[in-house]
Structure 1
Amino acid sequence: MIIPALSEPSTASTSSPQARSSSGPRRSSALSVILSLWLVIFFASLFAPPLLDDADATHANAARNMALTGDLVTLKVNGIRYLEKAALPYWLDAISFRIFGFNTFAAHLPEAIGVLLLALLGYHWGRRAYGDRTAFYTGVFALTSAGVFLFTRIYIPEVLLSLFILTALYCLLRTLEETSRQRPLYAYTMWAMLALAVLTKGLVALVFFGGAAIFYLTLTRQWRNVGRTRIASGLLLFFAIAAPWHILAGLRNTGGMNGHGFFWFYFVNEHFLRFLGKRYPKDYNKLPGYLFWSLHLVWLFPWSLFSPLAVIQGWRLRRSRPGTSINFSTGTTWLLLIYGALVLVFFSISTNQEYYTFPAYLAILILMAVALVCAEQSYDVDQTSRRWIIAAHATYTVIGIAAAAALGYGLWSSRNLPFVPDIGELLAHRGVGDYTLSMSHFFDLTGPSFAALRLPATLAALSFAFGPAIAWWLRSRRRHLASTVAIALTSTVFLVAAHIALVRFAPMLSSANLAQKIIQLEDQHLVSQDSEILLYGDQAYGSSIPFYLGKIVYLVDGRSTSMLFGSTFPDAPPIFLTHDDLLRTWGTGPRKILFVPLEKRDVVDRLLGDNKVLLAETSGKALFTDRPLDHPSSR
């Protein structure tokens, strides 16, 4: 049996008593709430912390080079070819840099706008398929889910990939369903969005879109309608958008390691060998299967608490095979089910990081939103749905009380501890997963480090202490919309607190303060502006330093990971130094300023001994120079 909320056409949503009982806010009010949430959670967080080391600043460096050189074809990091990524995210960042300057706000603005557009897409799609309340819930869910917030703190392309693929899928449905003059517009928009998705993340966009489309067309027996997608002219549009960069990148980047160039490294190494776990070099990890699946309860929290409702609705759909006359609502349900499952299964087989399944989040959230609305509609007559809603609120309240108690205990136990601005000094540095998983540093937290997190801990404790209980009370009073909004506001306060905590971690996760120290010494004429800046180890350890200094740095023992393949091209600049090179030039020629990450302090201490001068130290990272500071009067 298909329940009415899933099967009725959206045109009936204003006429049935059941739909009226679940009416949502007016469109203007809903969009105002969505925009307000985005401003509070995402826009306000664009200004701090500074760019983080590793992927965040590495990608910003590539975009900075584009903005300065005008080379929109070959990505370069620290002067070295960076051929593993598609170009579109860097084009957007380069434009942002040209408008707003080289800063954190400009680096993260395109991604934040992507989040807003993704939420608005969810709202629009949900409104047309299921009605106002589902649309409102979808937009709110997208902005207040833990994973959407967490995985947009660094500049990675997943949110843009999600936006483009899901827009293409929406246009596919409209093309198959639409009988008005708008059908060609949706068809060509679909092909354009698919091309942009390929320019954002590569061939995986074709796998996700194509796989979902093929399964859906087969299930609904709509292959006879494929001609509506303007295949011939649409493919021409697709290749006109997606092909030029790939062709130019291949022609301009030849003669690398073993004679390989862009085509081998980007398509073979970064796509097929990465999927098989044989990518070179191996600088990644993979989540165990049980964590891969169960952590989605965290990434989609708090809305994952209602996931059993979506399972129930899916179970009720199991015997209903959609026919060729499928309406937009039912078609949306099946397409999102297929697409979400495809993404999850694909990355359960492939190598993965925690955020790789981000493209499935909105699809899953839409399905959970419609399931919650259906359960609200039948709250007084459907015992199964009501029990699961009560169980979700009970679980949320227990989690809230436990979290508030744990945070309260931490606040009380640290009440006499001094506030330490450099929280990195208080962490354990356990190296869980050798820091190749994005959440590895979470396990470094210690009791003393809690003293630096009093403000965010207080906000989170208060939100968890009251928010879940208020939401449950409102639900018991049949004030369903208010209850869901209470959960969203609780999540909003928690995410704001999480952002404040991230800012407190900045000295550990970013080396921007050490770059600022170098600039300060240059301004005070204590070191020359032509001093040579050296980073010990892989550039990812201190990638924010060349970004904020705006200059190429030397890498000591750093010909590895993302720098390895690009370094094999004949025209690669000579920025890679060995231990012998460091010892031979240390103390001679231009002044040397050496950045050393915590992980390499012991190695450098053994290598240089006492023949170094400490300039600054934070979170175990240090700046050394090879001679005493200059005297301003001598200049």
Structure 2
Amino acid sequence: MNSVTAPITWRRWLSVCLLLFIALWFGTLEVRDLIRTDETRYAEIPREMVASGDWITPRLSDLKYFEKPPLQYWATAAAFTAFGPAAWTARLWTALTGALAIWLTWFTLRRLTSSTTTPNLAGTASAIPWLGAGMLASSLFWIGGGHINSLDMGLSFFMHATLCCLLLALHADHTHAPLQARRWMLASWASMALAVMSKGLIGIVLPGGVLVVYILLTRDWRCLRRLEWLRGLALFFAITAPWFILVSLRNPEFPEFFFIHEHFQRFVSKGHRREGPPWYFIPILLAGLLPWTSWLFKALWQGVCQLLPALKRPQAMPFEQRQTLLLWLWVGLIFVFFSVSSSKLPGYILPIFPALCMLLAPQLAATANRSLRWHALAVTVVTGIFAAAIALLYPQQINKDLFYRDLYWQYAEILLLCLGLLVTASAITAWLAHRHRQQPQPSWSAYLLLGLASFVAGHGILLGHQVLSPSSSARVMAQTLSPYLETDTPLYSVDIFEHGLLFYTQRPAILVATKDEMYLGVAQEPHKQIPDLAQFAQRWQQEKKAIALVKPDRLPELTALGVKFDIRYQDQRRILISKPLTSPTQ
């Protein structure tokens, strides 16, 4: 390939990859039904915002719901207003912020590597931004996070924007561009404010903690003066304060619940059934970073070898090493923070993935083909182990839900097919690297093949989950119910709360003998719920038409209380009943 045709060929390849990215990243949002619990919860709250016209007080099943701030609710409600409530509009904000984080990774690395010549950001400098963005786009966990409707991706994007703007501000100050440094620092404050509006105080606590540790380790006291405190704090509060003030004025119970219960108590308490061992996030990190996991160990070792000696004389530490240190602190402190927390969910460590890709991109760019083949073989082995584990352990999960046994077997086949694609691609990557082992530069075609295979496999794993919709979603159940629902037909939820049924029937449910996450709303508006089965039985007798979602083990109690019903839908976990006279023709 000569020097004239090479840029044209790679430009075409980049165009093809970009089109494939857009097609799969955004074009598949409607393929899967919304699944429980986060996806339907964070779709139903914005739907009720649009229906009620109240965009200040979030509500779920017409009860106050103050667990999280409203930024994603507002974005999704705007999408519902413009395009109507649907799976793709519910996931649009998550997909958009995930894609923007990939672009921001490319943009930041491009600015940081354009003038560096140090080993920390060495390799083929022009390839580093593309490698960083490509790694993030093809990491299995990032693909999943970008297509599951939860708050973690929006938080991750704005936290990543906070970090990137801080890096760019420090870089501009280092290159004597004070105006640019000021603008990037203010952008960092704004991003931090939007992170707070995405998921709470964690959006400022974690970036602030990382920056404090960075300053203490580097003894870079000038950094404190470059933070634009007055303008930054003014901008931060201009973005965050209006909603917090309004919602507190309308709901005096909000400050204690949101700031004390949802932040401090949730971090130290195990009452939310989200606890896990200290190593909980390690397998999630190693599997989620595939197919780039093996480079993590090399980068970590090099970081330790380079940074620990430099920290003995922090004032003499080169600026590029300071950037690397800040990135490692971001990854390490956030990982440790959530590892020691009493509340753990897989998506909590999503914010570290963009920073990891920024750290690993120079490693990939500097990897010789002799080393690349061993990395690719490691991916082949690890992915093969995952496939074997699924083949051996998945039948145990299937036996837990015999009602949908055939569907679980179908999904197992899809999982093995997608992992088989990744195993095949990594084996070919190893062969390509071996074939070009005499070349000093890495085989870019090998990286491209590995990234594309992972990108396609990740989407295949997601899209294949649709076969489990009858078990994991409420859409089929709601469709079965629709002939029996009229505008004035009440919907009861008896000792079970299915967010998806609310979204797909587009109506709130009256809670019966259940509180769980709704206990604050129930306490504030007790007249909107029924406290026990006896009162529900009385209400049921008075209704001309009614629908109720119940647990299977509750039916004998209801029968003993004289509740008469027809079963309209049933599976292993849930049953829909209606008044006996309720039918499509009556």
> Structure 2 length as normaliser, TM-score?
0.87
What amino acid is aligned across from residue 399 of structure 2 in structure 1? A
Does residue 320 (structure 1) correspond to residue 275 (structure 2)? The answer is no
Secondary structure at the residue paired with 1:49? coil
Q: Tell me the distance in 2 between the aligned counterparts of 1:545 and 1:90.
A: 19
**Aligned with residue 98 of structure 1, among 75, 81, 86:** 81
Matching residue of 2:234: 236
Does residue 348 (structure 1) correspond to residue 339 (structure 2)? The answer is yes
Q: Which moved more, 1:480-489 or 1:334-343?
A: 480-489
What amino acid is aligned across from residue 370 of structure 1 in structure 2? P
Q: Tell me the distance in 1 between the aligned counterparts of 2:168 and 2:385.
A: 46
CA deviations over 1:24-77 (Å, ceiling 9, x no partner): 999966864663353244313310322222222112111112223332221110
How does 1:333-372 map onto structure 2 within 5 Å? 333-351=324-342, 352-372=344-364
Q: Which moved more, 1:461-470 or 1:229-238?
A: 461-470
* Inter-CA distance 487–576: structure 2 relative to 1 (3 Å threshold): farther
CA deviations over 1:259-300 (Å, ceiling 9, x no partner): xx111110011111111116xxx2332221233323311121
**Aligned with residue 500 of structure 2, among 524, 544, 553:** 544
Does residue 287 (structure 1) correspond to residue 279 (structure 2)? The answer is no
Matching residue of 2:410: 452
What amino acid is aligned across from residue 492 of structure 1 in structure 2? F
Displacement of 1:488 in angstroms is 1.2
Displacement of 1:575 in angstroms is 2.9
Q: Tell me the distance in 1 between the aligned counterparts of 2:57 and 2:391.
A: 51
Matching residue of 2:168: 174
Does residue 605 (structure 1) correspond to residue 573 (structure 2)? The answer is no
* Inter-CA distance 407–575: structure 2 relative to 1 (3 Å threshold): closer
Displacement of 1:521 in angstroms is 3.6
* Inter-CA distance 218–456: structure 2 relative to 1 (3 Å threshold): same
* Inter-CA distance 307–165: structure 2 relative to 1 (3 Å threshold): same
Contact 2:140 2:455 in 1 (8 A): no
What amino acid is aligned across from residue 500 of structure 1 in structure 2? L
Does residue 511 (structure 1) correspond to residue 486 (structure 2)? The answer is no
Q: Tell me the distance in 2 between the aligned counterparts of 1:126 and 1:491.
A: 22
Contact 2:58 2:70 in 1 (8 A): yes
Displacement of 1:407 in angstroms is 8.1
Contact 1:474 1:480 in 2 (8 A): yes
Q: Tell me the distance in 2 between the aligned counterparts of 1:309 and 1:111.
A: 31
What amino acid is aligned across from residue 304 of structure 1 in structure 2? T
Displacement of 1:449 in angstroms is 4.5
Contact 1:79 1:572 in 2 (8 A): no
Contact 1:554 1:577 in 2 (8 A): no
Q: Which moved more, 1:353-362 or 1:127-136?
A: 127-136
Instruction: Structure 1: state its 5+ residue gaps.
Output: 1-19, 255-260, 381-385, 415-425, 431-443, 523-527
Displacement of 1:92 in angstroms is 0.8
Matching residue of 1:16: none
Secondary structure at the residue paired with 1:287? coil
Does residue 567 (structure 1) correspond to residue 525 (structure 2)? The answer is no
Instruction: Structure 2: state its 5+ residue gaps.
Output: 114-124, 437-441
How does 1:10-49 map onto structure 2 within 5 Å? 32=15, 35-49=18-32
Identity over the aligned pairs, expressed in percent?
26
- Greater percentage in helix: 2
**Aligned with residue 378 of structure 2, among 377, 395, 403:** 395
Secondary structure at the residue paired with 2:31? coil
**Aligned with residue 475 of structure 1, among 433, 446, 455:** 433
Does residue 247 (structure 1) correspond to residue 245 (structure 2)? The answer is yes
CA deviations over 1:65-90 (Å, ceiling 9, x no partner): 22233322211101110011111111
Matching residue of 1:435: none
Does residue 428 (structure 1) correspond to residue 399 (structure 2)? The answer is yes
Q: Tell me the distance in 2 between the aligned counterparts of 1:518 and 1:631.
A: 10
Q: Which moved more, 1:245-254 or 1:573-582?
A: 573-582
Displacement of 1:91 in angstroms is 1.0
* Inter-CA distance 239–469: structure 2 relative to 1 (3 Å threshold): same
Question: How many residue pairs are counted as aligned between the two chains?
Answer: 557
Secondary structure at the residue paired with 1:623? strand
CA deviations over 1:177-220 (Å, ceiling 9, x no partner): 31333233212211111111111111112121111112223333
Q: Which moved more, 1:545-554 or 1:91-100?
A: 545-554
Q: Tell me the distance in 1 between the aligned counterparts of 2:465 and 2:576.
A: 23
Q: Tell me the distance in 2 between the aligned counterparts of 1:138 and 1:25.
A: 21
* Inter-CA distance 407–272: structure 2 relative to 1 (3 Å threshold): closer
* Inter-CA distance 84–404: structure 2 relative to 1 (3 Å threshold): closer
> Structure 1 length as normaliser, TM-score?
0.80
CA deviations over 1:322-349 (Å, ceiling 9, x no partner): 8568666433311110111110110111
* Inter-CA distance 28–213: structure 2 relative to 1 (3 Å threshold): farther
Does residue 624 (structure 1) correspond to residue 580 (structure 2)? The answer is no
Matching residue of 2:255: 263
* Inter-CA distance 25–193: structure 2 relative to 1 (3 Å threshold): farther
What amino acid is aligned across from residue 52 of structure 1 in structure 2? I
Secondary structure at the residue paired with 2:507? coil
Displacement of 1:450 in angstroms is 4.9
**Aligned with residue 194 of structure 2, among 193, 196, 203:** 196
**Aligned with residue 89 of structure 1, among 52, 64, 72:** 72
Secondary structure at the residue paired with 2:542? coil
CA deviations over 1:110-132 (Å, ceiling 9, x no partner): 10001100111111122223433
Displacement of 1:173 in angstroms is 2.4
Contact 1:612 1:624 in 2 (8 A): yes
* Inter-CA distance 341–399: structure 2 relative to 1 (3 Å threshold): closer
Q: Tell me the distance in 1 between the aligned counterparts of 2:94 and 2:238.
A: 25
Contact 2:40 2:503 in 1 (8 A): yes
Contact 1:216 1:338 in 2 (8 A): yes
Matching residue of 2:540: 586
How does 1:33-72 map onto structure 2 within 5 Å? 35-72=18-55
Does residue 493 (structure 1) correspond to residue 456 (structure 2)? The answer is yes
Q: Tell me the distance in 1 between the aligned counterparts of 2:25 and 2:403.
A: 25
Q: Tell me the distance in 2 between the aligned counterparts of 1:461 and 1:346.
A: 31
What amino acid is aligned across from residue 202 of structure 1 in structure 2? G
